[in-house]
Structure 1
């Protein structure tokens, strides 16, 4: 064994000596050029790897149970609300071209859409998809908004303060669903109420920050009333109706993040 190691070291020294002799025989300009080409090659390789890694086509649907996430999922995929669907207990997860774009000519970039169940015990599944998300659509029931305002605010707060969301600046669309109903609250009203409730929530949570294990970042500007414009990531508010198929603002949000 010692003999084999000694032979291997002798062979290695021989190779190193041969490489040194070859380098000394080459013109300096040629060595510089070869080194420059090598550097450029590594730089381009790293750049293209970064581009492939950063271009995500994953859009995540989140929100409370009953907000209409699954109906929106099917509208985007099939152009149908699939009436009669029940509350999802497992994520709906598929990759497809938006149904409204199926008749368009040319190659279209498919989206990877994930509908995360809204039940409190199933929400941790959201963490499986956020690291790869290009954007999050947080669905709010604008018809029954007030009775669910506090619960919706807490869920949204938890998303907005997640480290992965803040660090990657993942855009979030607060989607006021069921906007076709006469008694539905407007997106302006919902936005103001959510901001007001988040302002209260961040105050109460900061008071017990040592015990608060869910919030990884603090929202807002110290000493100022909270607004979504204070968030590091872009937060927009829009309206839709999953049942009637009025989802143009949803599709616009998706296509801004996942280019056709």
Structure 2
């Protein structure tokens, strides 16, 4: 016990001497010394903050039959895989885009996830959204009208998801199969989806908050819904997975997963 008391006394003496020494240092020199000590700590903190690896995950979502899996294989190896059946498990892979394999310079691989469109399997989307750099929502432009309501409900849930809203995850609304003569245009699809989402917004706002599964509401009260009102960026593009016309898809991916 005596040894412990002596250490306490010694520590108090050292602390008093240190305080006396600090008080003797001119303020300018003291501030400079503190800056020298704190700068490396602050520098290391910001280096670690900005050096965090940015996500390279892109999610393909949408209703079953919209052509997500065909797009997956076109992006991966340039093939259409026309015989592909409806996915029951997420189809994922990490690879350099097929169109970039022969180009000079090092390209960053992407992690592409094709999430099944069946309603019972959509909760799997939740597993990947927190790490997504972007989401491609695929719509069948050929069979759009019969599926408009279902696609709108899926898209509404996606746009009000907590991860999408808080992280402002960009969404590409991709009108697929536009190589067909009877396919609807992207302008028509966009307007129809906005109208349906506007109806959904009104109907869901009438339901008690306890029954609403969405994390956030969409749009501006008193105004017709538009994708421009979303906190995250929503763009509309066209593609054809079967013919390989996917330039706008690749452009979206490289905009959010830098080479």
Q: TM exceeds 0.5?
A: yes
**Partner residue of 2:160?**
161
For the 8 Å contact 2:204–2:212, the answer to whether it is kept is no
**Partner residue of 1:123?**
122
- 1:226/1:30 CA distance change after superposition, 3 Å: same
State the alpha-carbon separation in 2 of the partners of residues 7 and 214 from structure 1: 65
**Partner residue of 2:112?**
113
Matched, 1:178 2:177: yes
SS in 1 for 2:42: helix
Residues 14-163 of structure 1 mapped to structure 2, 5 A cutoff: 21=17, 24=21, 32-53=31-52, 55-163=54-162
State the alpha-carbon separation in 1 of the partners of residues 5 and 132 from structure 2: 51
For the 8 Å contact 2:71–2:241, the answer to whether it is kept is yes
State the alpha-carbon separation in 2 of the partners of residues 165 and 53 from structure 1: 20
TM-score under structure 1 length normalisation: 0.89
**Partner residue of 2:222?**
223
Runs (5+) with no aligned partner, structure 1: none
SS in 2 for 1:74: helix
- 1:207/1:104 CA distance change after superposition, 3 Å: same
State the alpha-carbon separation in 2 of the partners of residues 202 and 65 from structure 1: 24
- 1:131/1:15 CA distance change after superposition, 3 Å: farther
State the alpha-carbon separation in 1 of the partners of residues 5 and 196 from structure 2: 71
- 1:27/1:251 CA distance change after superposition, 3 Å: same
State the alpha-carbon separation in 1 of the partners of residues 5 and 246 from structure 2: 70
Work out the number of aligned pairs and report it. Answer: 256
Query: 76-85 vs 28-37, which deviates more?
Result: 28-37
Instruction: Note the C-alpha offset of 1:228.
Output: 0.6
TM-score under structure 2 length normalisation: 0.89
